[in-house]
Chains A and B, each alone.
Chain A
Amino acid sequence: MIDAYFIHLLILIGIYLILGISLQLSLGYGGLLNLGHIAFFGIGAYAFALLSLHGFPFALSILVASIISALFGWLLSIPTNKLKGDYLALVTLGFSFVVYAVLLNWTSFTGGAFGLANIPRPSFLSDNFSFLLFVYVIAIISYIFISRICGTRFGKLIEAIRDDELAARSLGKKTLKIKSWGLVISAFFAGLAGSLFASYITFIDPSSFTLTTLIPILLIVIIGGLTSLPGTVLATIVVVLIPEPLRFLGFSSSVIGPLQQILYALLLLVIIYYKPRGFYGKIDLE
């Protein structure tokens, strides 16, 4: 059904939008190359799934899952606050590997490679159209929240720390604390996106939370342009929609998957080289 197809795409756009702006906060505004961002997405998804499978109310599960993800953001910020550049990237990457390995192997808790299924959805959201509306309400609230943070003096401070942390400290700013907050908020929203994802698909397994998933999210932030939130919105739509024509070319699903990944990887390489500032980016990726 065409309708159902579009609703599906729109829901994905909504979820990836939240994930994208959360990365925009830590990467674009904070200048932190957090390659482990997908781990927060996964932690949120699994936390939500486990909570709701154990009977917790829907809204509470989402909230608590996001907070748990934020907590991991804080935990990660402790060792990484003093790191920069590719070293930071590698440590955060290492973090995401650890999370992945735990999700894959702690079978009794996470279901291992089989994941968790039959994640309940509340009855008032059982049809996809209502779920779509719900996702967009959350997405709009998230956008407003993050946009507010970035627009205030606090946001300018985050940017200042990105540009020159030492200079910020010489102005009396406690930069480590601010950086931690940046990661915490970023992780919170990534976890929120993860909860929505788990609730929508109703089934999750570790394979959704690997390096492969990171590529399109990174692509979104870079294509949209670092520090541009509107750019992130535009880029999310572009990135989610770009591989869709492949479906109409008659390829089988086992071909579309890898083709999509190839497309994303190539796009990322092309953008990094030709237009590293994307649509509306005001700064360069360092």
Chain B
Amino acid sequence: MLTIHNLTKHFGGVKAVDNCSFKIEKGKITALIGPNGSGKTTIFNLISGMVEANEGEIIFNGQNLIGSSVDKISNFGISRIFQQSRLFKNLSVKDNLLLALDNEDTKLWKNLFGFNKITDEKVVRVRKILAELNILDIENTLASELSFGQKRLVELARAILNPHELLLLDEPVAGVNPKIRNIISELIIKMKNEGKGVLLIEHDMLFTLGVSDYIIVMDAGRVIAEGLPQDIRNNEKVLEAYLGR
């Protein structure tokens, strides 16, 4: 569903992403791994439109994403979570999630004349995912008052409620306790089974090797290896990149 061709991005003199090409398939969980600074988050930023590529193409369902704005790309069907949770801190968890459901809230006149009320159906959807993540009790808590793990879960829920076909997850389980890690991995697998594409960045190798269907390894801005988890585990180049040269 997503194909990257010869993607390059430099910042000043540094090539953060150097001529990368790979494919992401739907119904599969693909992991993007590599040492710090290898360009993984830059790839995410390029796909989601936060940063503009210098060269190359990003084709999503037949559409080239290069040059499109962040909101347009989101509306094409790509959802994302960030390395540091970016919740709307002065809004409740419920409001954070309701905002993701659709874009009817951007229509001033419709809202003013009362045509965009919160329907029961929307509340049910929000509650459903909160219940799946075992955090129904924080529905009305302000986002700023959540614990680290809760914030991660809410951000994940928000990304999932945002209509999407591809999920970009930047370190979804970094820093969370094992219980939450399990909840998150179950949810990600569920998304994959629903036919969504998942691209994730993670440093937790156990988690990554356990949940991924395919792995892409980056180092210094380039793709140095890709394949099935068991192949990557034993790959010379990968070990070299991680353990230093």
Which residues from chain A sit less than 8 Å from chain B, CB to CB? 148-149, 152-157, 159-160, 162-164, 166-175, 177-178, 181, 227, 282-283
B170 to chain A, nearest CB (A): 11
- Residues of B near A166 (CB, < 8 A) are 50, 70, 86
**What is the bound-complex CA distance between A170 and B50, given in angstroms?**
9
Identify B48's interface contact among A164, A170, A181, A227, CB under 8 A.
A170
B87 within 8 A of A: yes
Lowest 8 A-B CB distances belong to which pairs? A153-B105, A172-B74, A154-B111, A167-B86, A152-B111, A163-B88, A169-B70, A172-B75
Are A170 and B90 in contact (CB-based, < 8 A)? Answer: no
Which residues from chain B contact A149 at a C-beta distance below 8 Å?
A: 108, 111-112
Docked pose: A172 CA to B70 CA in angstroms: 7
- Whether B103 is near chain A, meaning CB under 8 Å from some CB there, is yes
- Contact among B70, B80, B82, B105 with A157 in the assembled complex (CB-CB below 8 Å): B105
Extra contacts, 17 of them, besides A149-B108, A164-B89, A166-B86 (Cβ < 8 A), are: A154-B111, A156-B98, A156-B105, A157-B106, A160-B95, A160-B99, A163-B88, A163-B90, A167-B87, A170-B48, A171-B162, A172-B71, A172-B72, A174-B106, A181-B108, A227-B90, A283-B90
B107-140 CB contacts (< 8 Å) to partner A: 107-108, 111-112, 116, 118
Provided the pairs A154-B106, A156-B95, A181-B108 are in contact, do residues A169 and B86 lie with their beta carbons within 8 angstroms?
Answer: no
Which residue from chain B places its CB closest to the CB of A155 in the assembled complex? B111
Closest residue on chain A to residue B85 by CB atoms = A167
B116:A153 contact, CB within 8 angstroms = yes
Pairs A–B under 8 Å by Cβ, sample size 29: A149-B108, A149-B111, A149-B112, A152-B111, A152-B116, A153-B98, A154-B112, A155-B111, A156-B98, A156-B99, A156-B105, A159-B88, A159-B90, A160-B88, A164-B88, A166-B86, A167-B86, A170-B71, A170-B80, A170-B86, A171-B100, A172-B71, A172-B72, A172-B162, A173-B103, A173-B106, A178-B106, A181-B108, A283-B90
CA distance A181 to B74 in the complex (A): 22
Candidate in B70, B74, B86, B104 with the most chain A CB atoms within 10 angstroms: B70
Chain B: residues with Cβ within 8 Å of the partner, total of 34
Q: A153-B98, A159-B90 are in contact. Are A148 and B112 (CB under 8 A)?
A: yes
B239 within 8 A of A: no
Q: Is the CB of A154 within 8 A of B105?
A: yes
Interface centre among A153, A169, A172, A283 (most CB of B within 10 A): A172
Q: Provide the residues of chain A in CB contact with B108, threshold 8 Å.
A: 149, 154, 181
A246 to chain B, nearest CB (A): 37
Closest A residue to B118 by beta carbon equals A153
- By a CB distance below 8 angstroms, the chain B residues around A154 are 105-108, 111-112, 116
Q: Which residues of chain A come closer than 8 Å to B70, judged between CB atoms?
A: 166, 169-170
Contact status A169-B74, CB under 8 Å? yes
| B141 at interface, CB cutoff 8 A | no
Dominant secondary structure of chain A at its interface with chain B: helix
State whether B111 touches A153 (Cβ < 8 A). Answer: yes
Q: Across the interface, which residues of A come within 8 angstroms of B90, CB to CB?
A: 159, 162-163, 227, 282-283
Taking the closest CB of chain A, its distance from the CB of B65, in whole angstroms, is 14
Whether A159 touches B106, Cβ cut-off 8 Å, given contacts A154-B111, A171-B162, A172-B162, is no
| Minimum distance in angstroms from A116 CB to a CB of chain B | 34
B114 to chain A, nearest CB (A): 8
Assembled-state Cα–Cα distance A173/B95 (Å): 15
Bound: A154/B90 CA distance, A: 15
Contact of B74 among A152, A170, A178 (CB under 8 A): A170
Q: B residues within 8 A CB of A168?
A: 88, 99
CA separation between A157 and B98, bound complex, in Å?
A: 10
